[in-house]
Structure 1
Amino acid sequence: MERLLHIAKKVIPTPLFKTLQPIYHYFLAYLGAFIYRFPSREITVVVITGTKGKSSTTEILNAILEAAGKKTAMAGTIRFKVGDKIWPNKYKMTVQGRFFLQRFLRQAVDAKCDYAILEMTSEAATQYRHKFIDFDALLFLNISPEHIESHGGYDKYLAAKLELAKALEHSCKPRRIVIANADDKEHEKFLHVTAEEKYTFSLKDAEPYILDHYGLYMTYKTLNLRSHLQGVFNIYNILAALTYASTQGITPETAQVGLENLKGIAGRVQKINLPESNLLQKKQNFTVVVDYAHTADSLEKIYGVFKDTRKICVLGNTGGGRDTWKRPEMAKVANDNCSQIILTNEDPYDEDPRKIINDMLPGITSTPYKIIMDRREAINYAITLAHTPERAPRYESTTVIISGKGTDPYIMEARGKKTPWSDAKVAEQEIEKVLATKK
């Protein structure tokens, strides 16, 4: 099918191809549902959408449902799960196309899962990957400018997200639930759909809350909850999951068990340490964090978690014509929040990696920076800096923040080349290397 589409792009005039492409996607969506016998009708389907927080909310909700004794399936950016079977997402995309989701849902039904939790993106909606999936619930987290070039503007990006709300409206399920973040300016548009139940959540629902380096403490329906996750953004993610859990009769006390069981989320404020069995661990006098943050807003929030530390950031940006406008903006966030910046390669695709870096430079006006194109070398350099004592220290601790890729399994390069990669593994290797060579 993919090869057929590639050939069609070459031989069919562009205006005609753009007209025919939606029909092609629609046909494949129906065909997939038909082949796998419309599996979404046999399982509770929870769809999570938003510019940021989808993966974390998916993991949080999964942990809460499991604590309630439910058998779950989960499809998202980080990993896939059907019952006890878990495997990583190596597709370099959140929502896989063609028949993948329908096959996944059939597997979940056959495994007798109670719930299927799906991350859903705007790009998936424009390609009809959500079609013929009957939603039981839609959780809207937030929206901010992203994928603007591919959608042709913010309004079209928002419209693509709202297609998911329309899908809920057209679902055959008897109890359709929509949940929206009341603190987001667009939330009313997601509530303006026909659904049996509508709920909102807001940061004020968690007040009073406390954030520290060990996690967060928040209030929910008079109960004090604790989570190992960090940052205000994760309070929002937890609230979204708690709001849905409450519609399923899950008590805050049971939800607390799920939150306690969730020690962390891969590639999301993920702290990298050497294993306790490694004698070098005691020499690690700094913190290393890997995070998926790939927008200026999410980058600022990650830096904010470690606001009282000396921050050394490893920063890159995606190529291939993707949101080029945000390159200097993200560099400016690093400039305003970090002590030192190391600019490096991320996912250049067919674009010149140096050009990507040059596009970022106008955002750096006052913070020392260094360009190291090799990502491993950049990470090593940042860790070396962190392990080197400052002559006149301003902060008590140092944090290296490696952003942009999270759990991405490849560096995407020119002509379709994919280099296997893991920020977390490379960071651990370079920590050991630095600690072993420096006294």
Structure 2
Amino acid sequence: MNSLKKTLKKAIPASLYQSIEPTYHLLTATAAATKAGYPAHNMRVIGVTGTNGKTSTCFMIHKMLTEAGLKAGLMTTVAYGVGNDITPQVAHMTTVSAPLLQKRLAEFKKQNVEWVVLEVTSHALAQHRTFGVPIEIAVMTNVTHEHLDYHRTFERYLAAKTKLFKLASRVGIINADDPSAETFRQAVKQSVSYGLKSGDWRAQDINLSAHGSDYTALIDGDSYHIHVNIPGEFNVYNSLAAAAVGREVGLTKTQIERGIAALAGVEGRMTVVDAEQPFSAIVDFAHTPDSFERLLNDVRNTTKGKLVVLFGSAGRRDEAKRAIQGEIAGKYADEIVLTEEDDRDIDGNAILSQIASGAEKAGKKREENLFLVPDRTAAINFAVSRVSSSKDTVIFLGKGHEKTIERADGAHPWNEIETVRQAILNIKAK
């Protein structure tokens, strides 16, 4: 089918291809589900969508279900598997292609999986990749600027996200603090909301630290003590969504509390790299303006010394966000190191210049507190060399868990966490 897609794109005008693309994807998904025998039909599926926080929320829900003794499958950007047998995801794709999705669901069926926690992107919804997968509970984390290179307008992006809620047979879990909350509420028959400012589920007495958070969650007069091992206020939101799912599934208060607390972390999501260095080093997948704003605000508030931020922007992806992210980083960071992030066949120097324009707007100056280092390994080594105090933090954004970096000549092996660790060891050895 991929070869047919490539042939069609070459053989017909782009405008005509865009008009028939949804039909092509629906046919592909229908064929895949039919061939696999619709394996998800006897499973109970929890679909999680949103711009940021999807993966962490999925992991929290899956861990909670597994700790409660339920046979639960997981499919996310980072990994997939059943129970505690989780396999890393190598492809740069959140919701995999329809044929691979159905194949994995068939594998889940053989293992008698009852619940499936599925991370669902706007691309997947627009392309019908989840056709034949019955959604029982839909979860929305937030909706902000992203993927406009594909959807072209925010309205189309939002419409794609709400498709998940239209498919939900039971309930939709909605972030009440998000400006798009009402749109999602209208798309589902029954809803439960959560938030820090409003919602059915509310978080109060929040204690944030560099290692996680503790807070009290309130719902209908009941209170839950929630401990999260992943830092950031945004993970308070993610854990609230997970708790709301747990209650809808029928878990007890103890099962919800213990389940969320049992998740030690998610690879590439606020992952602390500890090589016994004095400063803090963090790897995160953040690659949108909203995730930058939330994450850097939290890190800035917990960093007493210098904050150094390293990131780039992927080629053949949303160009409009580049300068925005540069400006956001410029607002919070003391120093910025710009580098490659899956440039693909796009001029990496041009990408860095676009990001730099935003950072300069925020007052940063090249070769003073704004540095452009195209090679990511060299950039990581340089960023590590810029911090030394126990009060300093250096954070590496955009790659997170990914196991390849895409350049003009194809994909190359990559491991951000280990590259950062090695850079720290190199500095210590000098």
Which band: TM-score by shorter chain?
Answer: over 0.9
Shift of 1:259: 2.3
CA contact (8 A) 1:130 1:164 kept: no
Q: Distance in 1 between matches of 2:123 and 2:290?
A: 20
Partner of 1:212: 209
Worse-superposed segment, 216-225 or 137-146: 216-225
Shift of 1:248: 1.6
CA contact (8 A) 1:286 1:398 kept: yes
The residue type paired with residue 150 of structure 2 is S
The residue type paired with residue 186 of structure 1 is S
Q: Distance in 2 between matches of 1:295 and 1:145?
A: 7
1:325 is the counterpart of 2:312: no
1:355 is the counterpart of 2:350: yes
Partner of 2:279: 286
Q: Distance in 2 between matches of 1:369 and 1:346?
A: 17
Q: Give the alignment partner of residue 340 of structure 1, picking from 335, 339, 345.
A: 335
Partner of 1:265: 266
Seen in structure 2, the aligned counterparts of structure 1 residues 247 and 2 have a Cα distance that, compared at 3 Å, is same
1:179 is the counterpart of 2:173: yes
1:407 is the counterpart of 2:401: yes
Shift of 1:28: 1.3
1:304 is the counterpart of 2:301: no
CA contact (8 A) 1:342 1:382 kept: yes
Shift of 1:201: 1.0
Q: How many residues align?
A: 413
Q: Distance in 1 between matches of 2:320 and 2:16?
A: 30
Q: Distance in 1 between matches of 2:86 and 2:226?
A: 28
CA contact (8 A) 1:408 1:422 kept: yes
Q: Distance in 2 between matches of 1:156 and 1:212?
A: 37
Matches within 5 A, 1:58-207: 58-168=58-168, 176-195=170-189, 197-204=190-197, 205-207=202-204
Matches within 5 A, 1:14-33: 14-33=14-33
Q: Distance in 1 between matches of 2:245 and 2:225?
A: 18
1:341 is paired with a residue of what secondary structure?
strand
CA contact (8 A) 1:40 1:135 kept: no
| TM value normalised by structure 2 | 0.93
CA contact (8 A) 2:282 2:395 kept: yes
Q: Distance in 2 between matches of 1:66 and 1:201?
A: 23
1:207 is paired with a residue of what secondary structure?
strand
1:192 is paired with a residue of what secondary structure?
helix
2:324 is paired with a residue of what secondary structure?
helix
1:206 is paired with a residue of what secondary structure?
strand
Seen in structure 2, the aligned counterparts of structure 1 residues 303 and 14 have a Cα distance that, compared at 3 Å, is closer
CA contact (8 A) 1:242 1:252 kept: no
2:98 is paired with a residue of what secondary structure?
coil
Partner of 1:393: none
1:37 is the counterpart of 2:37: yes
The residue type paired with residue 408 of structure 2 is A
Gaps of 5+ in 1: 275-280, 390-395
Q: Distance in 2 between matches of 1:21 and 1:156?
A: 15
Q: Distance in 2 between matches of 1:229 and 1:21?
A: 39
Partner of 1:251: 252
1:426 is the counterpart of 2:423: no
Worse-superposed segment, 308-317 or 397-406: 308-317
Worse-superposed segment, 377-386 or 217-226: 217-226
Q: Distance in 1 between matches of 2:145 and 2:292?
A: 14
Shift of 1:12: 2.6
Q: Distance in 1 between matches of 2:214 and 2:83?
A: 30
Worse-superposed segment, 183-192 or 38-47: 183-192
CA contact (8 A) 1:73 1:80 kept: yes
Shift of 1:215: 1.3
Q: Distance in 2 between matches of 1:162 and 1:260?
A: 30
Partner of 1:392: none
CA contact (8 A) 2:327 2:358 kept: yes
1:370 is paired with a residue of what secondary structure?
strand
Q: Distance in 2 between matches of 1:19 and 1:235?
A: 41
CA RMSD of aligned residues (A): 1.5
CA contact (8 A) 2:162 2:187 kept: no
Q: Distance in 1 between matches of 2:7 and 2:182?
A: 42
Shift of 1:4: 1.9
Partner of 1:315: 311
Q: Distance in 2 between matches of 1:333 and 1:378?
A: 20
2:112 is paired with a residue of what secondary structure?
coil
Partner of 1:48: 48
2:25 is paired with a residue of what secondary structure?
helix
Shift of 1:194: 4.9
2:250 is paired with a residue of what secondary structure?
coil
Seen in structure 2, the aligned counterparts of structure 1 residues 325 and 14 have a Cα distance that, compared at 3 Å, is closer
Q: Distance in 2 between matches of 1:106 and 1:237?
A: 29
CA contact (8 A) 2:145 2:289 kept: no
Partner of 1:225: 226
Q: Distance in 2 between matches of 1:83 and 1:256?
A: 18
Deviations 1:402-433 (A, max 9, x none): 00111111111125x00111110101111111
CA contact (8 A) 1:82 1:107 kept: no
Shift of 1:84: 4.3
Seen in structure 2, the aligned counterparts of structure 1 residues 135 and 292 have a Cα distance that, compared at 3 Å, is same
Q: Distance in 2 between matches of 1:5 and 1:329?
A: 34
CA contact (8 A) 2:171 2:188 kept: no
Partner of 1:277: none
Q: Distance in 2 between matches of 1:434 and 1:300?
A: 30
The residue type paired with residue 214 of structure 1 is H
Question: Percent identity between the aligned chains?
Answer: 31
The residue type paired with residue 329 of structure 1 is I
| TM value normalised by structure 1 | 0.91
Partner of 1:278: none
The residue type paired with residue 340 of structure 1 is E
